[in-house]
Amino acid sequence: MDQEESVQSQAHNNDDNDNNMEAPETLPYVTTSAVLRQLNQNLQELAPPGEEAYCKPRFELQKRLPDGSTIPASQDDLSASDLQNKIAQSAKFVSQLVPSDRKKWAEQQRQSGNSLFQQGQYKAAMDIYLTCLVVKESSSPSRSQPQDAAPDLEFLSQTLLPVLNNLAQCTLQLGMQKKTKEFCGIALEEIGDNASDIDPIALCKIHFKRAKAHRLTGHYSEARQDLNLSLSFVEKKEKALLKEDTTMEEEEEDDDSAASITNPFRQAIQKEFRHLEAAEKEARKNRQRQKKSMQRALTSNKSASSVPSGKKALDDTSSGIPVPQGPRKYSTLRARKKVSPADSTGTENAQEGRMDIRDLSYWQYYWLVVARVAETLLLLIGDEDDDENSVRARQSQVHSRRDDRKTR
């Protein structure tokens, strides 16, 4: 079994607790898709036999555009509408519960989301997990209460952090790395200054998932920082377990409990470090290739005129970038023109400028290419204006010639 999958399964197994607790009744959600489905089904049942036109869906969700027109909504739009309905109904339902029942309901929703996650239904599990956050908003301190009131650490560690952790994992599975970083950031904000009261493994999971999201989005330095933090929390957990073993004076057979708990997390972090190093190495190679391509693009115009033919020109064309063959500056049957001292100094300065171009950094090449593209666009726009002016001049000349012929 892959180490990351073992870490994820262990995370869900460690998060489950008190399945036999008494919880309030589940909330029957009324969503947009369910209403449309029921309406179309009723119309289909009422349709006369043999008329297929009534069997087609007659009601559908429409999306209004900025100009006022409407188009059929996509499946993503329908899913977003369903999620908004669930969150609104959950908020109304939770507001009618006492604080103790709110926590029980959130725990029940979390367990329902865990069962969907284990079945691989990440989108459905994510929708269930998001309804748990309604309890956090409804349980936030009011204006009459002090803002620095101590948070409910039990609810934070047993329900809220596992929910945010599972939301981060769902978004990773769905390829939503930006959402992963947002959920991990929310979890760290909720912890705040209470990190010493939270299980280090929970903090390890949060930083590990955010590190993976950073790596997948190309932020390698941030990913390395989060991986180092994740590894430090694993070491902190090992020290705490070893301290408990020494104080309880357990037998030698049970001394491996700390290693058995933390080894899967440590191995997953080491594997992520290897993925990060491979990504950084590939990024450096891509950076060098891009730099060489920009260097060839910037120096090709100057080198093309000086090397019109020969072995070096063939080498340039074999590299994948065609070199335009310009006309020779002098005839091969005659002697070369004498170059004045001023022209020779100009050529030397041009060679020095060409050497300076090769010594530029990556970002200097980048902005130089941008400037070259902008200059080319301006020249093209100017050429179009010149072409229009020349066409008008030719037309005026033609009309003047016709007038001259008529007068003659």
Phi, psi (rounded to 5 degrees) for 63: -110, 125
d(CA 34, CA 20): 31
Which pair of structure tokens corresponds to residue 102?
A: 């709110």
Residue 64's DSSP bridge partners are 70
Taken as a whole, the chain contains a residue count of 408
Which pair of structure tokens corresponds to residue 17?
A: 């607790």
The single-letter code of the amino acid at 363 is: W
Give pLDDT, residue 245.
64
d(CA 206, CA 226): 9
pLDDT at 103 over 80: yes
d(CA 144, CA 147): 9
Which pair of structure tokens corresponds to residue 112?
A: 């329902």
- The radius of gyration of the chain's CA atoms, rounded to the nearest angstrom, is 35
Q: Name the residue with tokens 């005839």.
A: 331
Smallest CA-to-CA distance from 59 within 37, 34, 31, 80 is with 37
Q: Give the tens place of pLDDT for each residue, 276-300.
A: 999 999 999 998 888 888 878 777 6
The single-letter code of the amino acid at 214 is: H
Q: How confident is the model at residue 121 (pLDDT cuts 50, 70, 90)?
A: very high
Q: Are 171 and 180 in contact (CB under 8 A)?
A: yes
pLDDT at 242 over 90: no
d(CA 162, CA 155): 10
pTM of the model: 0.67
Return the higher-pLDDT residue of 42 and 228.
228
E strand or H helix at 71, and its extent? Answer: strand 70-72
Smallest CA-to-CA distance from 202 within 405, 11, 400 is with 11
Return the higher-pLDDT residue of 74 and 351.
74
The contacts of residue 58 (CB under 8 Å, 6+ apart) are 39, 40, 43
Per-residue burial over 2-29, b if 16 or more Cβ lie within 10 Å, else e, is ebbeebbeebbeebeeeeeeebbeeeeb
Residue 71's DSSP bridge partners are 63
- CA separation, residue 227 to residues 206, 221, 278 (Å): 10, 10, 15
Residue 14's DSSP bridge partners are none
Q: Give the tens place of pLDDT for each residue, 316-347.
A: 444 444 445 555 555 556 566 665 655 555 55
Q: Are 129 and 187 in contact (CB under 8 A)?
A: no
